[in-house]
Amino acid sequence: MPIDIVGVISNHEDMRSLTEWYGLDYYYFPIEKHEKAGQEKKILDLYAKTGADLLVLAWYMQILSDDLCQKLSGHAINIHHSFLPGFKGAKPYHQAFERGVKLIGATAHYVTSDLDEGPIIEQAVERVFHMHSPDEMVEIGRDIESLVLNRAVRWHAEKRVIRNGNRTVVFGR
């Protein structure tokens, strides 16, 4: 990919050893009750300090403030573990299982202050069947998420994505 990864920020310590094994800086910013604004300030400060031009949210299960969304407009991509616009929020594969869906997917989109409603960059789906458990659907979904996020970040870095209102145009697909 035509990018330099400047680090990984997490509110958990889970991926520190793997991140550092790859030679990347790991920043642990735990979310403390009533301190969300402070954590978002740390993220913005680090974003500016490192000279980053894209923030990628992967399994960052927090709702960003309107202020942070506006400051990162067009420079933050979220991978949503669902084929949007359906099954927003938490546990979308469990929601899909309960509805008996036959296709599950993932959506990469630009972050906006409207939860999971930003301009969509890429999506993919995979067929599932009644015998798949919610946990199996999560595993299938993680593979899809990786592919979709990879494409979205690559296309953004190659400047092949143009925002057009609440939509995107992706060139050279």
Which are the catalytic amino acids? 116
Is there a cis peptide before residue 134, judged by omega within 30 degrees of 0? no
From the centroid of its chain, how far is CA 24? 19
What does the alpha-carbon distance between residue 158 and residue 150 come to, in Å, rounded to a whole number? Answer: 12
What does the alpha-carbon distance between residue 101 and residue 149 come to, in Å, rounded to a whole number? Answer: 22
**What H or E segment, with its residue span, contains residue 104?**
strand 103-110
Place of tokens 């060139």: 171
